[in-house]
């Protein structure tokens, strides 16, 4: 088995990093996408490392700074993304080595990820904990909804510290989705509209402002777009009785790790009611 070393991502060009990501995942991400996600983020540029062997780069691990708030306290956090290993290096411990590096070297309150089925087991073996399971549902838009209203949350609740600037970044077309925005004064909502079998579907991203004013914006938007189905991530259990025409579409598992050196201590009390929104999970970032 060939050995490899871990180097700072700054030692490689953007094109080299993208080659690893695109080869590993079968994607075709561009330099514009990389700039949006990893250089222009609202909480700062990403940090990362690359595994390199004699033939070149074989793996990438990027940490995207992510604003989290625990009640009234702002935390230092990073979202683990782009855990990429090219096919010829599979089974050589690249994923484990890159993740151990970030767990040991990065000074942060929390590192978290929304892993796919292939990488979940690897995180759990490294000692990560489950933060939340966020189910996804299709629901009939029987009446206007305010969507994901971002408002102050109680002490002990962990959430993304979204503001208007961060939402503008999140809704950038380079995210892979084309979002629309409806606004009135300080009240704003982000959403996208698409078609399924000829029916207009609304997927809310997030909203900021007064709930009553946001409900009016939603009513105007639904009337204007003639949308009939609302797609939303459900942050609460399915109610009883379940909504009519509700269809479950999988879930997002959020895993996290902290060394105990920072402000946060993962516990059932902290993670039992994490209010993840579409802005947190759509497209799995």
Report d(CA 182, CA 173) in Å as an integer. Answer: 16
What are the structure tokens assigned to 49, written together?
């490392």
Query: For position 19, what pLDDT does the model report?
Result: 97
Report d(CA 83, CA 120) in Å as an integer. Answer: 11
Selection from 233, 222, 217, 221 nearest residue 276 by Cα: 233
Selection from 83, 94, 97, 40 nearest residue 255 by Cα: 83
Fold of 5-133+252-264: Aminopeptidase (3.40.630)
One pLDDT digit (tens) per residue for the chain, 285 residues: 558 999 999 999 999 999 999 999 999 999 999 999 999 999 999 999 999 999 999 999 999 999 988 777 888 889 999 999 999 999 999 999 999 999 999 888 888 888 877 788 888 899 888 877 776 665 655 444 444 444 444 555 778 888 999 999 999 999 988 899 999 988 999 988 888 778 788 888 888 888 888 888 888 888 888 876 666 555 444 444 555 555 555 667 778 877 666 556 666 555 555 667 777 777 655
Q: Residue length, the chain?
A: 285
Query: For position 76, what pLDDT does the model report?
Result: 86
CB-based contacts of 13: which residues, under 8 Å, 6+ apart?
Answer: none
**Range(s) within the chain of domains with CATH label 3.40.630.30:** 5-133+252-264
Report d(CA 158, CA 74) in Å as an integer. Answer: 10
Report d(CA 50, CA 6) in Å as an integer. Answer: 6
Give Cα separations from 53 to 4, 56, 92, 191 (angstroms): 4, 5, 11, 44
Query: For position 155, what pLDDT does the model report?
Result: 53
Query: For position 237, what pLDDT does the model report?
Result: 47
Query: For position 152, what pLDDT does the model report?
Result: 42
Query: For position 150, what pLDDT does the model report?
Result: 41
Query: For position 38, what pLDDT does the model report?
Result: 97
**H helices present in 39-106, as ranges:** 94-105
CB-based contacts of 230: which residues, under 8 Å, 6+ apart?
Answer: 138, 139, 140, 141, 145, 201, 202, 203, 204
What number does CATH give the domain 134-248? 3.40.630
Report d(CA 116, CA 284) in Å as an integer. Answer: 9
Q: Is 192 helix (H, G, I), strand (E, B) or coil?
A: strand
| pTM for this entry | 0.83
β-pair type (68-70, 199-208): unpaired
């Amino acid at each position: 088995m060939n050995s490899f070393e871990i180097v700072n991502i700054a030692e490689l060009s953007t094109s080299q990093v993208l080659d690893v990501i695109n080869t590993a995942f079968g994607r075709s991400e561009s330099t514009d996408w990389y700039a949006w996600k990893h250089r222009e983020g609202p909480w700062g540029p990403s940090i990362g490392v690359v595994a390199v062997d004699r033939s070149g780069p074989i793996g990438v691990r990027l940490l995207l700074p992510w604003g989290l708030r625990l009640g009234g306290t702002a935390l230092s956090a990073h979202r683990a993304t782009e855990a990429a290993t090219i096919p010829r290096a599979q089974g050589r411990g690249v994923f484990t080595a890159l993740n151990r590096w970030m767990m040991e070297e990065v000074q942060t309150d929390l590192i978290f990820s929304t892993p796919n089925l292939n990488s979940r087991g690897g995180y759990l073996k490294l000692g990560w904990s489950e933060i939340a399971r966020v189910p996804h549902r299709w629901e009939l838009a029987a009446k206007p909804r305010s969507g994901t209203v971002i408002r102050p949350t109680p002490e002990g609740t962990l959430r993304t510290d979204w503001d208007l600037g961060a939402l503008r970044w999140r809704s950038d077309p380079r995210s892979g989705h084309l979002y629309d925005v409806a606004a009135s004064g300080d009240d704003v909502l982000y959403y996208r509209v698409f078609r399924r079998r000829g029916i207009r579907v609304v997927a809310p991203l997030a909203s900021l402002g007064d709930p009553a004013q946001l409900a009016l914006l939603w009513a105007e938007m639904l009337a204007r777009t003639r949308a009939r189905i609302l797609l939303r991530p459900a942050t609460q259990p399915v109610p009883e009785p379940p909504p009519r025409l509700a269809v479950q579409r999988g879930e997002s598992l959020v895993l996290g790790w902290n060394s105990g050196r920072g402000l946060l201590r993962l516990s059932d009390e902290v993670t039992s009611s994490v209010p993840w929104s579409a802005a947190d999970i759509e497209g799995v970032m």
